[in-house]
A = this chain, B = another copy of it.
Amino acid sequence: MKLKAPATLKQIAALAGVHTSTVSRALDPEKRHLVAEDVAQRVAELARSLAYRPNRVATTLKTGRSRLIGVLLPDIANPVFAPILSGIAEALATDGYAPIVVDAGNDASRQFAFVENLLVQRVEGLILATVSSEDDVVAHCVRRGLPVVLVNRSEFRNRVSSVVSDDERGMLIAVDHLTSLGHRQIGHIAGPRNTSTGVLRKEGFAKAMARHGLKGPTEEAERFTRDCGLAPARALIRKAKRLTAVVAANDLLALGVLDALHEMNLRCPDDISVVGHNDMPLVDLISPPLTTVRIEHRAMGREAAGLLLKELGARKTASSRLVLEPQLIVRGSTKAIAAVATAGRQPSRV
C-alpha cells in the first residue's frame, strides 16, 4: 500500500514563488512577523488549500523535539492504569504531544529494553508508573538527562518529580472511619515493601492507629494482586483472634481478604469490616460493596503529564512532588462494632 504523498514546504514555496525558508517562517506563528503581510497571507492560503501539515519527523530531526512522551506501565490490564493513561493522554494532547504506551511489566531488565526502545523513538520524556523504591530505570534516565515524572508510585530519593496520592492521609481517613464505628482491633494487609505505596500506607496505618492510642497487626503481601492478598489475610486473621476490621493497601488485596473471610466462614461486614484503597471500577458491585479510599487516578495522570510538559519547557527544574487528596467512599463492607458484638462473632469463630 502506498500513501498519497502529503504537501511539503518546497511545493508551497514553488507555488508561492518564494524560498522554502520564507514559507517556513510564514507558517510559524512565532516568526510570521518577519515576513511581509501579503506574502504570509498567500502562503497561509496555499498551505490551507494543500492541507499542508509539517512533517513532524523532519522537524524532529532538525530540532530534536519529537513531541512524544513514553509511558511505562507495570500492567496495562490493571484497571487503575486506564484512567491514569486517559488523563495523561488528555493533558498531552493539549500541547500537541502524544504518549507512546508500553506495558513493561515489573521486571527491571525488560523495562530497560523498553526504555531503550523509547529513546530510539526520541521520546522527549518519560512517565513511569512502574517504579519501585530504588529504581534503576530512574537512575538510568537521570544519568542520561531524560526528563521523568513518576505517577502513582514515587521514589524515596527525590531525584525526579512525582504525582501521587497522599497515602498516609488515605490510611488516616480509613482508620478514622473504622474507629468512629467503634473498631479498635484493626489489622493491615500491606503492599510489597519495594513500592512506595506499600511502605507509605503501612506507615500511614501505624501512625493513624497511634493517634488513637492503638497498634494493629500487619501482614505484607508480595504483590498487589487478589491472589497475593489471600495468604497474609489468612495469617492476620488467625493470629489476631479479636480482629474486627482489616485495612488493605489496595482494592485487589481487599478482594483477597474477602476471599480469606469466605474461606474461613466469616462474614463481611458482620464479622469483620474491610476497607480497600483505589476505588477501582466495579468494587461497588461486589458483595458486599467495598468501602475504599478513592484516588483520582485520572487527575493524577493529567497532573503528571502537565508536570512533565512544564519540565520540558524549563531549562532546569527542581523536582517537585504533587500530592493529591484521597477521599473515603463508604459502602457496605464496613459496619459499626456494636453490630458486630451482637451479631455473635464468637460462635462463628468456634
A residues touching B (Cβ–Cβ < 8 Å)? 1-4, 6, 53-58, 60-61, 64, 66-68, 76-79, 81-83, 85-86, 89-90, 93, 96, 98-103, 116-122, 143-147, 255, 258, 281-283, 285-287, 311-312, 314-317
Contacts and interface: CB of A to CB of B under 8 A. Distances in A.
Indicate the member of A53, A57, A58, A83 with the most B CB atoms within 10 Å: A57
Contacts of A117: 93, 96, 98
B103 A86 contact: yes
Contacts of A316: 1
B76 A79 contact: no
A203 to B, nearest CB: 29
B122 A55 contact: yes
Given A55-B61, A98-B100, 4 more contacts: A77-B82, A90-B103, A98-B117, A100-B101
Contacts of A281: 77, 79, 282
A314 B2 CA distance: 10
Contacts of A60: 57
Indicate the member of A55, A56, A147 with the most B CB atoms within 10 Å: A56
Nearest to A124: B3
A61 B55 CA distance: 9
Top-3 shortest CB links A-B: A287-B287, A285-B286, A282-B282
Nearest to A83: B77
Contacts of A317: 1
A138 to B, nearest CB: 14
A121 B89 contact: no
A96 B113 CA distance: 11
Given A53-B120, A98-B121, A89 B61 contact: no
Nearest to A84: B76
Given A57-B57, A121-B68, A145 B3 contact: yes
Nearest to A78: B82
Contacts of A116: 53
Contacts of A96: 117
B120 A103 contact: no
A311 to B, nearest CB: 7
19 contacts: A1-B147, A4-B144, A55-B122, A56-B122, A57-B57, A61-B61, A76-B82, A78-B82, A79-B79, A79-B82, A85-B101, A85-B103, A96-B117, A98-B102, A98-B121, A255-B282, A255-B285, A282-B285, A287-B287
